[in-house]
């Protein structure tokens, strides 16, 4: 028996596309299913200025295969040297849709991130004034804070003070991984949203560590206890418009993940929509997938819902997703949920 679900073409509100050969290899995996994506700026060197973002957008469009349509929504990497006038111009031209805040040292290529939040205050003021969202990697980096507590501590010590000091600042808590993140969003009904990844709806920390270390399940923020995964599932499938899809699909070459010091990131661009259909169906919430993947994100960013549609079909046979995507520098492993999935994109 075949079941199907047609939704407006979804968007990915948090995506790593990288550059060069990797960009070429992974872009079609997203553009096949998604209309738009918020493009993370953590290249080496990072995308800091409006000019950097314009050049990166051109490289993305040049890498898009013939016949595919995709609209990359560009972001700037907030540094202590970011020029408020450049931010204003890049936003007002329509090129830049958000700024990204990485606490320095929090994750991949975050060395240029913010150490002293007072130094970025003028930029945050401009953003509040023009309504430009701040996408936040919400983890403290203090060595004395346990990695599993870093999101909860960030909310108390950094995020809440920033929001109180900057009324009107629109914030997206990126890739929330805890019930603390869910609760903070729910307790604040203005100017706050959160993205949730596909993989954090599927794995908890046991999946990374039990029965041998699984480098392809390691990402940042690291997956937490089961009770947190369940809180994320409840938020994503609730229909609450403050929660929307941001895959954080983050490709790394296999040899750099299967390594003594493996990189953080799960690559989910290839199979995200079928995996989400499985998750939402499992929770009796297939009717909420459209909001999570196609409607809530555009509403937060003040953009129209995509006019095209995407159809997901469920069949009796399990879908055979590719295990890896090839790049000239080696393969990238596609996220494996660890169970059969019967949904696919038509
Ligand atoms: O797992 C992650 N990978 N988390 C991030 O915040 C960055 C990303 C990357 O760029 O690889
Ligand atoms: Zn990310």
Q: What CATH number corresponds to the domain at position 257? A: 3.20.20.140
Confidence of residue 34 (pLDDT cuts 50, 70, 90): very high
Answer yes or no: is 320 within a domain: no
Percent of the chain with pLDDT over 90: 94
Report DSSP state, residue 171: E
Per residue in 277-287, pLDDT (tens digit) is: 999 999 999 99
Answer yes or no: is 311 within a domain: no
Ligand nearest to the CA of 248: 2
Answer yes or no: is 57 within a domain: yes
Answer yes or no: is 146 within a domain: yes
- Is the previous residue joined to 80 through a cis bond, with omega within 30 degrees of 0? no
pLDDT tops 90 at residue 187: yes
Question: Which residues contact ligand 1 via a Cβ below 6 A?
Answer: 16, 42, 107-108, 137, 219-220, 248, 250, 264-265
CA pair distance 278, 272, nearest whole angstrom: 10
Answer yes or no: is 194 within a domain: yes
Q: Is 333 helix (H, G, I), strand (E, B) or coil?
A: strand
Per residue in 48-87, pLDDT (tens digit) is: 999 999 999 999 999 999 999 999 999 999 999 999 999 9
Q: Which ligand 1 atom minimizes the distance to the CA of 106? A: 6
Answer yes or no: is 346 within a domain: no
Which residue range(s) make up the domain with 102?
9-306
CA pair distance 239, 159, nearest whole angstrom: 24
- Cβ neighbors of 186 (< 8 A, separation 6 or more) are 235, 240, 242
Q: Which ligand 1 atom minimizes the distance to the CA of 265? A: 1
Answer yes or no: is 268 within a domain: yes
In this structure, are residues 342 and 319 in contact, taking their beta carbons and an 8 Å threshold? yes
pLDDT tops 90 at residue 106: no
Which of the residue ranges 107-111, 250-254, 303-307, 308-312 would you say has the lowest mean pLDDT?
107-111
Residue 1's pLDDT is 60
Helix (H) or strand (E) holding 53: helix 50-63
Q: Of 134, 245, 224, which is closest to residue 177 (Cα–Cα)?
A: 224
Ligand nearest to the CA of 137: 1
Q: Which two tokens stand for residue 63?
A: 């890498």
CA pair distance 192, 208, nearest whole angstrom: 30
116 is catalytic: no
Nearest Cα residue to atom 4 of ligand 1: 220
Residue 214's pLDDT is 98
* Residue predicted with more confidence, 115 or 58: 58
Ion ligand 2: residues, CB within 5 A, are 248
The count of residues in the chain is 346
CA pair distance 341, 289, nearest whole angstrom: 16
284: left (phi over 0), alpha (psi -120 to 50) or beta: left
Per residue in 292-316, pLDDT (tens digit) is: 999 999 999 999 999 999 999 999 9
Question: Is the pTM above the cut of 0.95?
Answer: yes
* Residue predicted with more confidence, 115 or 185: 185
In this structure, are residues 270 and 325 in contact, taking their beta carbons and an 8 Å threshold? yes
Number of domains into which the chain is organized = 1
Answer yes or no: is 339 within a domain: no
* Catalytic residue (choose from 248, 254, 326, 329): 248
Tell me the average pLDDT across 251-258. Answer: 98
pLDDT tops 80 at residue 220: yes
Tell me the average pLDDT across 255-266. Answer: 98
């Amino acid at each position: 028996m075949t079941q199907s679900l047609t939704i407006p073409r979804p968007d990915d509100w948090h995506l790593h596309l990288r550059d060069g050969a990797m960009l070429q290899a992974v872009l079609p995996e997203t553009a096949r299913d998604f209309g738009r994506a918020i493009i993370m700026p953590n290249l080496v060197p990072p995308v800091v200025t409006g000019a950097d973002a314009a050049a990166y957008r051109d490289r993305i469009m040049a890498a898009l295969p013939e016949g595919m349509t995709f609209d990359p929504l560009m972001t700037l990497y907030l540094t202590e040297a970011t020029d408020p006038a450049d931010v204003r111009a890049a936003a007002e031209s329509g090129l830049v849709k958000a700024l990204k805040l990485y606490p320095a040292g929090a994750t991949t290529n975050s060395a240029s991130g913010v150490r002293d939040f007072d130094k970025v205050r003028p930029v945050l003021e401009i953003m509040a004034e023009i309504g430009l969202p701040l996408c936040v990697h919400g983890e403290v980096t203090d060595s004395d804070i346990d990695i599993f507590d870093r999101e909860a501590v960030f909310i108390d010590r950094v995020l809440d003070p920033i929001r109180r000091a900057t009324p009107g600042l629109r914030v997206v808590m990126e890739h929330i991984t805890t019930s603390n993140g869910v609760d903070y969003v729910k307790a604040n009904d203005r100017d706050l949203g959160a993205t949730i990844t596909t993989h954090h709806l599927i794995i908890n920390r046991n999946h990374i560590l039990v029965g041998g270390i699984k480098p392809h399940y390691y990402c940042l923020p690291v997956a937490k206890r089961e009770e947190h995964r369940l809180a994320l599932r409840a938020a994503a499938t609730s229909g609450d418009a403050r929660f929307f899809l941001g895959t954080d699909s983050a490709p790394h070459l296999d040899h750099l993940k299967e390594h003594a010091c493996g990189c953080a990131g799960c690559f989910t661009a290839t199979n995200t929509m079928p995996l989400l259909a499985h998750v939402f169906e499992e929770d009796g919430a297939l009717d909420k997938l459209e909001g999570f993947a196609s409607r809530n994100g555009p509403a937060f960013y003040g953009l129209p819902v995509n006019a095209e549609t995407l159809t997901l079909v469920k069949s009796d046979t399990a879908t055979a997703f590719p295990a890896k995507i090839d790049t000239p520098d080696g393969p990238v492993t596609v996220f494996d949920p660890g169970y059969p999935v019967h949904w696919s994109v038509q």
